[in-house]
Chains A and B, each alone.
Chain A
Amino acid sequence: MNILTMLWKNLWGGSRTMLFPARPAAGERFRGLVRFDPELCTGCAICKMRCTSRAIEFKTGKGEFYWSYDPGQCTFCGRCVEGCKSHALSQDEECPPVYTTIGELKKSYTVARKPPAPKPPAAVAGSTANPATGGAQ
């Protein structure tokens, strides 16, 4: 008889369905799309080395570098976010959108390399640092 009481309660209790375009909210630790902040990125390429599915591409050039991310290739594991020392990458709660052409969601950035921060005065006398080094990979 349990099944009949359950059916009765379902019938009069209303449905639990979300009507079509409504979507449930993701929780706060949901691993969604990876967000890149070009201001904070230092071009160390740790995220490319840590990426499990080669969703992140990194090419270095003279004084600038090229960084791209393809959500279609991504598996949303979060290793890039964990490995980024300058907190330029973050994962937000947005699910990747549905798309119709391969490569449609790929986002690329060309970021100029920033000069390194000036050294503190105690170490100036001993250094012969050349500020603008376009460091090779």
Chain B
Amino acid sequence: MNILITSLARLLIFPGLLFAVPAAWFFLWVERKAVARMQGRIGPPFMQPFYDFIKLVGKDTPQRTGASEMLMKAWPLIAVSAAAGAVGLLPVLPASGGFQGDLILLLALLEVPSMCIIAAGFSSRSIFGEIGSAREAVLSVSYNVVFLLAIISIAASQHTFRLDALAQLPASPLRWLGILAILVCLPAKLHLNPFSLPNAEQEIYSGPMTEYAGPELAMWELSHGLEWVAATGLVATLVAPQLTLWWVAALVFVALSFFIVLLLSVVASATARLQIDTTVRFYWQCTLIFAVLAVASALFMRFRA
């Protein structure tokens, strides 16, 4: 019973839904405001992502004919629930029992939103959706190699896939190498410049999202915000030192995520969108080195230990 209560609290309150949704809006605002300030503008007011969400919920729902109506309604909901689940699984608080989850589960949940975007573009039966989904698929294949290799090598060096072991990493060069590799993959995961291909507005009319409107679009925006929280939270838990008091751990988690959001905003405002071939070449030629180094050092440490 105790286990059920604590796992429900982790999934629903902190770092679950009750924390994740306002944190998602907050991080979306921080990114827009930081990019605006660095461009010399003022930027949106504080509650802007919340206003956008409520306004989208109040728009007309689209009526679509054909078999794809159920499917198109389902994709944003699957994306939101997967992203919220990923946030709920993050090992923020020291292991207090309850549903521990697994690194494999966390990685799978982090992948589901981009799979949903790809599927949504193809099921929208619009040419812009197909092109956008194809781009998103190519992007996903490229950055996932580095991302998964880096995080799996960090886990393999600890000889376990349990999440609380990830939160208690010893300080080693392998850990920082892995964190650096993951940070390089984050702009692609979150569709930020320089890898914001699927959102190329002037070229493909918002790509996979072209046919979405109203409450479904609100769900897509929310899933995007939750992806922000999950991805930055993952790096924050890897970086954070081991702390005993739960509220100090929570504060450090939020502060580190905030700092990573600022870092990503600097990268987003300093760069322009790269083409698809440059992106693929970047991830397969340049950053693969990181991942290979991480795997090599993990193997090395394993055979030494």
Contacts and interface: CB of A to CB of B under 8 A. Distances in A.
Contacts of B42: 15, 17, 19
Interface string A1-40: 0011001001101011101000000000000000000000
Contacts of A4: 266, 270
Contacts of B36: 15
Interface string A86-100: 000000000000000
A4 B42 CA distance: 19
Interface residues of A, number: 10
B274 to A, nearest CB: 15
A10 B39 contact: yes
Contacts of B269: 7
Contacts of B266: 4, 7
Q: Is the interface of A mostly helix, strand, loop or mixed?
A: helix
B40 A16 contact: yes
B74 interface: no
A13 B269 CA distance: 16
A7 B270 contact: yes
Contacts of A3: 270
15 contacts: A3-B270, A4-B270, A7-B266, A7-B270, A10-B37, A10-B38, A10-B39, A11-B38, A15-B40, A15-B41, A15-B42, A16-B40, A16-B41, A17-B40, A19-B42
Interface of B: 36-42, 266, 269-270
Interface of A: 3-4, 7, 10-11, 13, 15-17, 19
Given A7-B269, A15-B37, A15-B40, 18 more contacts: A3-B270, A4-B266, A4-B270, A7-B38, A7-B266, A7-B270, A10-B37, A10-B38, A10-B39, A11-B37, A13-B40, A15-B36, A15-B41, A15-B42, A16-B40, A17-B40, A17-B41, A17-B42
